[in-house]
């Protein structure tokens, strides 16, 4: 099946630890995105990548890092510098094509990160 | 900068009644507009989009939305609500519309359909 796979579904982190969230897609999409979801705040953009080996900061990039070494993969690392990392993290991807085509983004099932 | 507003945090409707979830947008040009739905502890599912053309767009699960340029609105509607429609709904915009610009989301509206 084609789609976006996020793992793990639940993740627990101790204070001061770095953790990496996985996002893999087999849709052959060029663009990938990471959003953070908190109750009542909607989705906020952390990082996005439009092509392999390139990525841009979103609105809340501080305390996070990403890499895009392969088209299929866009892992997100939550570093110890992120002061309030407990949230639901969503990965998305989007294909590139002509006007009106491949316009919507497709989302994974999310990873819920909790700091313990 | 583009933005999306969903003025209602919660919408309650009786099963069988029509439902409306409101969305207004602010962009500099002609946007692409989207509606997504989220069930508990799940990712977002695409419902429908407005790109160009007919102002009334139809989507999945019987939902539709009306694009109104003069009011800068893109309200989600369904003629007859089901209990299973209860979920969190997000409006989103992409501006500029082409390319891979990230979607900008509203804060979401929780829809509760009561049997």
Burial of B81 (0-12, 13-18, 19+ CB in 10 A): buried
A86, β-bridge pairs: none
* Residue A102 pLDDT > 80: no
The confidence score (pLDDT) of residue B99 equals: 80
The confidence score (pLDDT) of residue A101 equals: 62
**Mean pLDDT across chain A, nearest whole number?**
92
Question: Tens digit of pLDDT for each residue in B48-89?
Answer: 999 888 899 999 999 999 999 999 999 999 999 999 999 999
A90 touches chain B (CB under 8 A): yes
Q: Return all residues near B61 (Cβ < 8 A) that are at least 6 apart.
A: B47, B78, B85
Contacts 24+ apart (CB under 8 A), B63-69: B63/B35, B65/B33, B65/B35, B67/B33
pLDDT band, residue A38 (cuts 50/70/90): very high
H/E stretch holding B76: strand B73-78
The confidence score (pLDDT) of residue A98 equals: 57
* Residue A39 pLDDT > 60: yes
**To the nearest whole angstrom, how far is the Cα of B38 from the nearest Cα of chain A?**
10
Mean pLDDT of A78-83: 91
Q: Which residues of A touch B33 (CB under 8 A)?
A: none
* Residue A89 pLDDT > 80: yes
The structure tokens listed for A62 are: 């501080």
Q: Tell me how far CA of residue B77 lies from CA of A44, A116, B19, in angstroms.
A: 25, 41, 6
The confidence score (pLDDT) of residue B34 equals: 96
**Mean pLDDT across chain B, nearest whole number?**
93
Q: Measured at the alpha carbon of residue A42, what is the angle toward residues B17 and A18, in degrees to the nearest 5?
A: 145
Question: Tens digit of pLDDT for each residue in B104-114?
Answer: 999 999 999 99
* Residue A114 pLDDT > 90: yes
DSSP string, A58-116: -TT-TTEEE--SBTTB--EEE-TT-S---EEEEEEEE---STTSS-S-EE---EEEEE-
* Residue B1 pLDDT > 80: no
A29 with B83: CB under 8 angstroms? no
Contact B103 A105 (CB under 8 A): yes
B50 with B92: CB under 8 angstroms? no
């Amino acid at each position: 099946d084609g789609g976006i796979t996020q793992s793990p579904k639940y993740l627990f982190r101790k204070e001061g630890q770095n953790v990496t969230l996985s996002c893999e897609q087999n849709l052959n999409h060029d663009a990938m995105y990471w959003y953070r979801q908190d109750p009542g705040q909607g989705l906020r953009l952390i990082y996005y990548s439009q092509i392999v080996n390139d990525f841009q900061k979103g609105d809340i990039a501080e305390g996070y890092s990403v890499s895009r070494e392969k088209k299929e993969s866009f892992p997100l690392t939550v570093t110890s510098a992120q002061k309030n990392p407990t949230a639901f993290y969503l990965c998305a991807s989007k294909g590139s094509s002509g006007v009106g085509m491949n316009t919507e983004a497709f989302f994974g099932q999310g990873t819920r990160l909790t700091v313990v | 900068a583009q933005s999306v507003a969903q003025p209602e945090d919660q919408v309650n409707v009786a099963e069988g009644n029509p439902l409306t979830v409101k969305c207004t947008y602010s962009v500099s040009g002609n946007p692409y507009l989207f509606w997504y739905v989220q069930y508990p502890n799940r990712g977002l599912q695409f419902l429908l989009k407005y790109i160009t053309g007919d102002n009334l767009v139809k989507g999945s699960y019987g939902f539709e939305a009306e694009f109104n340029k003069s009011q800068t609105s893109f309200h989600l509607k369904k003629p007859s609500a089901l209990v299973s429609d209860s979920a969190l709904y997000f409006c989103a915009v992409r501006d500029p519309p082409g390319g891979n610009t990230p979607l900008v989301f509203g804060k979401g509206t929780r829809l509760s359909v009561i049997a």
